[in-house]
């Protein structure tokens, strides 16, 4: 059946070319011809949005004096792709403002003006270039411009741009506009490289980098709304009034069908680095004096980028929906052992280093497989009124402005302002106030508690941006500087999260409160100690039984293993039990802690979760120290102070940093710092036996500051010694094997994929403290427990 339709359409298309482009502009003065080429013209995006957008452009402009021709380009040969293209074209729908008769006519014309062309080789592009020029010549019409929309994977951009430059440039005086879809790179350097490669073929003013969020009606009105309502907003758009800013994109869909893309990108690169970041800049940038001055808008946006505080992994909570890994294995033909760390959910806290926003958290969050589809940005204001009685009265309620992009409970785009804030002015005649509502709540408030503004006619983002491309409105697109500034902000976080385990979530309503996250100072953590259900599939097994913490033996000592989060929870709990027992029995808990990065999560956990920990009766000792002043960032004591000690209430007298600095010099033998520490231990710690010593292990098998090849006489009598590290700073002070092995309990914490090799090797080697100092840890009468996370254990 389609063959018949296709043949008919093809015939029509041929007829059209013979009939000429210029006919439809009858009556209007001819402004020239525009050729539109969608490269990737039968792909998903083109099917879903682009053809519809170009049809709307055509319908709007058909009487304006321009004439058009449309080409869907692709790698497939003409006979295969033409019917597919025409099926898509038949599905376009008319803008509401067209009458049924007019619509039928315009649609018929549009179909006649469209054709498929194979665009694979340089010759294909040369043929296209020739064809475009030849048609113009035959018709005797002036060329207005050529618009190439590259709806193809980004790796093909540079090559296609080169082909366009070589053979498809328009005739003199006409414009060339090449539209690029995200992703524009996957980090700062790849974006820079792409930008250089494209720059070799195209001028900056010829490139239109699309972020379709900028075409969403609400997003495009953020600045006009701020301007129109500045008499109210100027007073409250600052840290004194704003509690926090939330920018949220929740989706119910999964990543099925696009895993090849998604697995490389993940949620931060897919929507946060671009869509949500753009919204953030629009909300927080200084208002330009002229909103349509592209340069000024960009300048103000860049000021925000340069004021964003550096992000590290503590600023983000990341998750992955449970079925994702199996989808990756299937779509990418990976084995059952393949384990993806790509986040499909992220909650990130950003701070802006400007006096105006000091201390105001900006939360960006998005995820696939959540309970609902909705997007919004909410400015939540502080409510400084303390309500004694009538809590439901309007002035007691939250004050907020919500830029509601669409979907969710409301189902239409809107800007909502709590009635206890102010009555907003409309930005222009294309917006109206909604006064009759159905009975819904938006972010906790009934709709009747808001003033609601909405566009008079709803428009699709792509259609809007396609019109802007045609009009050459560069302000709706992402400039190269903007793009690089955004990547330079996000890249460090992406790098720091590269090996981070993500919280698994079941998807949909079953997520419950698993993904709720909280802000603790500068840190973001999941709010609930959710049980992460992990099936044995993730360990390469075949059962479906779920487990959280596994116990076993390692190097003939006890081992506890779990995913990182659970492991830390377990170790912290074990420490608390050890502390409570020690205090109950002897009134004191002597704890010796190591440096390094592995225990940081533990310190933070103890600081922020263990409020009943008997800190008052705890003495904290150092396992080892670098010979640097204790205030330096690479001092182990400084790390311990910053992540733990400063957050808990301990007596100054119970904190025992190693005396690495004496007589204004560092670690000089004759100053006897090691002896001094040893004498403190002997005097204060019963039988010089710590209750708990927490160790880590380095890639070379070192533990504490006991390195391979150094003198580690286990039978020697000293408890503290100066040692040498192969890495800077070389000089160290460390507890000796003797001091450690006298302890009642020794925990060795090993975390991260990068330690997997080490864990494997250590499981095979015999005790050989000279080459592998960690193997010298054999508590004489105490207990050794290895705490190894699954990443380190399983790789
Ligand atoms: C796209 C992302 O850019 O934006 C998709 O690649 C995401 O993963 C989409 O679903 C969301 O856009 P919208 O307009 O549906 O909110």
Q: Residue 53 is encoded by which pair of tokens?
A: 């957008």
- Are the C-beta atoms of residues 80 and 119 closer than 8 Å to each other? no
352 within ligand 1 shell (Cβ under 6 A):
no
Please, are residues 57 and 464 in contact by the beta-carbon 8 Å criterion?
no
How long, in residues, is the chain? Answer: 795
Which among 661, 585, 589, 665 has a CA at the least distance from the CA of 630? 661
Q: Is 206 in the pocket of ligand 1 (CB under 6 A)?
A: no
Q: Packing angle between helix 157-167 and helix 122-139, nearest 10 degrees?
A: 40
Q: Ligand 1 in contact with 696 (CB < 6 A)?
A: no
Report how far ligand 1's centroid is from the alpha carbon of 417 (Å).
26
Indicate which atom in ligand 1 lies nearest the CA of residue 461.
14
Q: Is there a contact between 146 and 132 (Cβ–Cβ < 8 Å)?
A: yes
β-pair partners for 789: 562
- Backbone phi and psi for residue 740, each to the nearest 5 degrees, phi listed first: -70, -45
Tell me if 464 CB under 6 Å of ligand 1.
Answer: no
User: To test the ligand 1 pocket, which listed residue (271, 344, 372, 465) has its Cβ within 8 A of the most ligand atoms?
Assistant: 271
Q: How far is the CA of 545 from the centre of ligand 1 (A)?
A: 35
Whole-number Å distance between alpha carbons of 353 and 310: 10
Alpha-carbon distance of 155 to 169, in angstroms, equals 22
Three-state helix/strand/coil letters over 513-545:
CCCCEEEECCEEEECCCCCCCEEHHHHCCCCCC
Farthest CA pair distance, the chain: 104
DSSP run (H or E) holding 374: strand 374-381
* DSSP at 706: B
Which residue's alpha carbon is at the smallest distance from atom 3 of ligand 1? 271
Q: Which two structure tokens, joined as six digits, stand for 277?
A: 């970041």
**Nearest Cα residue to atom 6 of ligand 1:** 270
Question: Which of 209, 251, 372 gets mutated to test ligand 1 (max ligand atoms within 8 A of its CB)?
Answer: 251
Give the whole-angstrom CA distance, residue 144 versus residue 41: 22
**Cα angle 193, 194, 200; round to 5:** 95
Residue partners of 767: CB distance under 8 A and separation at least 6: 775, 776, 778
Chain CA centroid to CA 187, Å: 12
SS3 784: strand
Residue 216's Cα: distance from chain center in Å? 21
Question: Could you tell me the two tokens for 718?
Answer: 């000293």
Note the pLDDT of residue 3.
Answer: 38
Task: Please name which of 360, 764, 785 lies closest in space to residue 558, comparing C-alpha atoms.
Answer: 785
271 lines ligand 1 (CB under 6 A): yes
Q: How far apart are CA 776 and CA 736, in angstroms?
A: 10
* Cα–Cα nearest to 13, from 164, 93, 115: 115
508 three-class SS: helix
Q: Please indicate whether residue 789, judged by its CB atom, sits closer than 6 Å to ligand 1.
A: no
Q: How far is it, in rounded angstroms, from Cα 134 to Cα 205? A: 26
Cα-to-centroid distance, 164 and ligand 1 (Å): 28
Q: Does residue 678's CB lie within 6 angstroms of at least one atom of ligand 1?
A: no
Decide: 251 in ligand 1 pocket, CB within 6 A: yes
d(CA 707, CA 215): 59
Which class for 545: exposed (0-12), middle (13-18), buried (19 or more C-beta within 10 A)? Answer: exposed
Q: What is the CA radius of gyration of the chain?
A: 32
CA-proximal residue: ligand 1, atom 8 (nearest): 270
CA distance 181 to 201: 17
Q: State which of 180, 262, 275 you would mutate to test the pocket of ligand 1, scoring each by most atoms of that ligand within 8 A of its C-beta.
A: 275
Structure tokens at 217: 């009606």
Q: Is 270 in the pocket of ligand 1 (CB under 6 A)?
A: yes
Give residue 271 CA to ligand 1 midpoint distance, Å: 7
Q: How far is the CA of 647 from the centre of ligand 1 (A)?
A: 41
Distance separating alpha carbons of residues 275 and 743, to the nearest angstrom: 54
For residue 53 and ligand 1, the question of a CB distance below 6 A is answered with: no
Atom of ligand 1 nearest to the CA of 261: 6
What separation in Å is there between the alpha carbon of 211 and the centre of ligand 1? 10
Catalytic residue among 275, 590, 656, 702: 275
State the residue for tokens 């440096």.
Answer: 595
Tokens of 671: 């100053």
Cross-strand bridge partners of residue 692: 591
Q: Indicate which atom in ligand 1 lies nearest the CA of residue 405.
A: 16
| Ligand 1: residue whose CA is nearest its atom 15 | 251
Contact 455, 426 (CB under 8 A): no
Q: What distance in angstroms lies between residue 72's CA and the mean position of ligand 1's atoms?
A: 23
**Contact between residue 616 and residue 582 where contact means Cβ atoms under 8 Å apart:** no
| Nearest in space to 465 (alpha carbons), one of 217, 114, 720 | 217
Please tell me the distance between residue 251's alpha carbon and the centre of ligand 1 in angstroms. Answer: 9
- 591 SS3 class: strand
Q: Which atom of ligand 1 is nearest to the CA of 251?
A: 10
Ligand 1 atom index nearest CA of 406: 16
Q: Which two tokens stand for residue 463?
A: 């259609």
- Among 329, 365, 314, 363, smallest CA distance to 344 is for 365
Query: Tokens in use for 679?
Result: 């004498």
CA dist 622 and 739 (Å) reads: 12
The secondary structure of residue 62, as a DSSP letter, is T
Task: Name the closest-CA residue to atom 10, ligand 1.
Answer: 251
Please give the structure tokens belonging to residue 85.
């293209």
Ligand 1 centroid, distance to 331 Cα (angstroms): 20
Q: Rounded to whole angstroms, how far apart are CA atoms 179 and 472?
A: 11
d(CA 712, CA 714): 6
d(CA 274, CA 484): 11
Q: Whose CA is nearest to atom 7 of ligand 1?
A: 271
- Is residue 609 a contact partner of residue 710, using CB atoms and an 8 Å limit? no
250 Cα–ligand 1 center, Å: 10
| The predicted structure's pLDDT at residue 619 | 98
Q: Which ligand 1 atom is the nearest neighbour of the CA of 407?
A: 16
Residue nearest to atom 9 of ligand 1 (CA): 271
764 phi and psi angles, rounded to 5 deg: -100, -30
Q: From residue 125, how far is each of 120, 128, 130, 666 by CA, in Å? A: 8, 5, 9, 70
For the chain, how far is it from start to end, CA to CA, in angstroms?
A: 55
Q: Is the peptide bond before 729 cis (omega within 30 degrees of 0)?
A: yes
- Ligand 1 pocket, mutate which of 249, 274, 276, 406 (most atoms under 8 A from CB): 249
Question: Does residue 776 sit in helix, strand or coil?
Answer: helix
Q: What's the token pair of residue 449?
A: 């508690």
pLDDT of 637: 96
Spatial distance between the Cα atoms of 436 and 709, rounded to a whole number of angstroms: 80
Cα of 176 from ligand 1 centre, angstroms: 27
Hey, which residues does 13 pair with through a beta bridge? none
* Residue from 459, 431, 479 nearest 49 by CA: 459
Stretches where the chain sits below pLDDT 70 are 1-28, 337, 529-547, 712-715
Cβ of residue 375 lying under 6 Å from some atom of ligand 1: yes
- Identify whether the C-beta of residue 434 lies closer than 8 Å to the C-beta of residue 423: no
Query: What is residue 552's predicted lDDT score, i.e. its pLDDT?
Result: 80
Helix (H, G, I), strand (E, B) or coil at 47: helix
User: Ligand 1 centroid to 415 CA: how many Å?
Assistant: 20
In sequence order, what are the beta bridge partners of 732?
A: 626, 723
Q: Which of 186, 268, 270, 368 to mutate to test the pocket of ligand 1 (most atoms within 8 A of CB)?
A: 270
Please state, in angstroms and rounded to a whole number, the distance separating the CA atoms of residues 180 and 193: 15
Q: Whose CA is nearest to atom 13 of ligand 1?
A: 213
- The per-residue DSSP string of 417-474 comes to EETTT-PPPPSSTTEEEE----S-EETTEEGGGEEEEEESS---HHHHHHHHHHHT-G
Tell me which residue has tokens 């409105």.
473
d(CA 37, CA 364): 35
DSSP for 394-411 reads GGGS-EEEEEEEEETTT-
Residue whose CA is at the smallest distance from ligand 1 atom 4: 271
**Contact by Cβ (8 Å): 118, 147:** no
Told to judge if 275 belongs to the known catalytic residues of this protein, a careful annotator would answer: yes
How many whole angstroms from 587 Cα to the centroid of ligand 1?
Answer: 59
* Whole-number Å distance between alpha carbons of 399 and 451: 12
* Distance (Å, whole) CA 372 – CA 378: 17
Tokens linked to 164: 């366009």
């Amino acid at each position: 059946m389609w063959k018949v339709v296709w043949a008919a359409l093809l015939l029509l298309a041929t007829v059209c070319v013979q009939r000429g482009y210029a006919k439809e502009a009858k009556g209007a003065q001819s402004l020239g011809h525009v050729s539109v080429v969608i490269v990737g013209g039968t792909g998903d995006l083109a099917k879903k949005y682009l053809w519809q957008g170009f049809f709307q452009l055509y319908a709007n402009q058909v009487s304006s004096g321009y004439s058009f021709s449309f080409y869907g380009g692709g790698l497939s040969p003409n006979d295969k792709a033409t019917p597919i293209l025409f099926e898509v074209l038949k599905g376009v729908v008319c803008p509401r403002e067209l009458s049924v008769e007019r619509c039928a006519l315009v649609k018929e014309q549009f179909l006649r003006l469209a054709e498929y062309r194979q665009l694979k080789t340089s010759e294909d592009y040369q043929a296209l270039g020739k064809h475009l020029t030849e048609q113009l010549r035959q018709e005797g019409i002036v060329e207005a411009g050529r618009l190439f929309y590259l709806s193809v994977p980004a790796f093909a951009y540079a090559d296609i741009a080169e082909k366009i430059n070589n053979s498809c440039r328009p005739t003199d005086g006409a414009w060339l506009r090449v539209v690029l879809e995200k992703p524009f790179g996957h980090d700062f350097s790849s974006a820079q490289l792409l930008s250089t490669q494209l720059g070799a073929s195209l001028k900056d003013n010829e490139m239109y980098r699309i972020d379709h969020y900028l075409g969403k009606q609400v997003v495009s009105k953020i600045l006009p709304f701020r301007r129109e309502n500045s008499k109210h907003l100027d007073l409250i758009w600052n840290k004194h009034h704003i509690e926090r800013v939330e920018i949220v994109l929740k989706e119910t869909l999964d990543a099925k069908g696009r895993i090849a893309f998604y697995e490389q990108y993940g949620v931060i690169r897919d929507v946060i680095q671009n869509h949500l970041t753009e919204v953030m800049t629009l909300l927080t940038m200084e208002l330009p004096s002229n909103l349509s001055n592209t340069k000024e808008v960009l300048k103000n946006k860049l000021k925000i980028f340069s004021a964003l505080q550096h992000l590290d992994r503590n600023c983000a909570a990341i998750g992955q929906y449970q079925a994702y890994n199996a989808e990756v294995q299937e779509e990418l033909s990976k084995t059952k052992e393949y384990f993806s760390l790509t986040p499909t959910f992220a909650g990130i806290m950003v701070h802006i280093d400007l006096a105006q926003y000091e201390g105001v958290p900006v939360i960006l969050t998005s995820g696939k497989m959540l309970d609902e589809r909705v997007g919004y940005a909410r400015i939540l204001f502080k409510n400084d009124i303390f309500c004694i009685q009538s809590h439901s009265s309007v002035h007691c309620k939250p004050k907020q402005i919500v830029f509601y992009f669409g979907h969710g409970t409301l189902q239409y785009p809107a800007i909502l302002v709590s009635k206890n804030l102010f009555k907003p002015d409309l930005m222009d005649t294309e917006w109206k106030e909604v006064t009759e509502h159905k009975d819904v709540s938006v972010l906790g408030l009934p709709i009747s508690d808001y003033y609601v503004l909405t566009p008079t006619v709803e428009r699709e983002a792509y259609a809007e941006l396609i019109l802007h491309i045609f009009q050459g409105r560069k302000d709706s697109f992402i400039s190269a500087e903007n793009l690089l500034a955004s990547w330079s902000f996000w890249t460090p976080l992406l790098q720091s999260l590269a090996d981070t385990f993500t919280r698994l979530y079941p998807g949909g309503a079953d997520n419950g409160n698993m993904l709720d996250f909280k802000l603790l100072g500068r840190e973001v953590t999941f709010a609930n100690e959710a049980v992460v259900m992990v099936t044995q599939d993730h360990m390469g097994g075949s059962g479906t039984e779920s487990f959280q913490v596994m116990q076993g033996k390692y190097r003939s000592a006890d081992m506890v293993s779990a995913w990182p989060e659970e492991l830390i929870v377990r170790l912290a709990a074990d420490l608390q039990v050890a502390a409570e027992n020690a205090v109950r029995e002897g009134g004191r808990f002597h704890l010796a802690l190591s440096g390094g990065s592995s225990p940081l999560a533990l310190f933070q956990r103890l600081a922020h979760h263990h409020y009943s920990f008997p800190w008052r009766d705890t003495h904290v000792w150092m396992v080892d120290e670098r010979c640097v002043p204790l205030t330096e960032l690479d001092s182990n004591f400084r790390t311990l102070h910053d992540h733990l000690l400063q957050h808990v209430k301990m007596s100054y007298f119970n904190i025992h940093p190693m005396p690495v600095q004496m007589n204004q010099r560092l670690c000089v033998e004759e100053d006897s710092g090691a002896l001094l520490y040893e004498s403190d231990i002997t005097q204060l710690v019963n039988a010089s036996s710590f209750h708990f010593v927490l160790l880590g292990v380095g890639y070379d098998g070192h533990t504490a500051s006991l390195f391979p090849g150094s003198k580690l006489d286990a039978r020697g009598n000293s408890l503290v010694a100066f040692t040498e590290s192969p890495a800077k700073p070389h000089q160290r002070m460390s507890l000796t094997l003797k001091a450690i092995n006298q302890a009642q309990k020794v925990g060795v914490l090993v975390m991260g994929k990068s330690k997997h090799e080490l864990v494997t090797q250590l499981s095979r080697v015999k005790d050989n403290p000279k080459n592998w100092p960690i193997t010298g840890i054999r508590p004489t009468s105490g207990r050794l427990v290895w705490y190894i996370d699954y990443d380190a254990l399983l790789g």
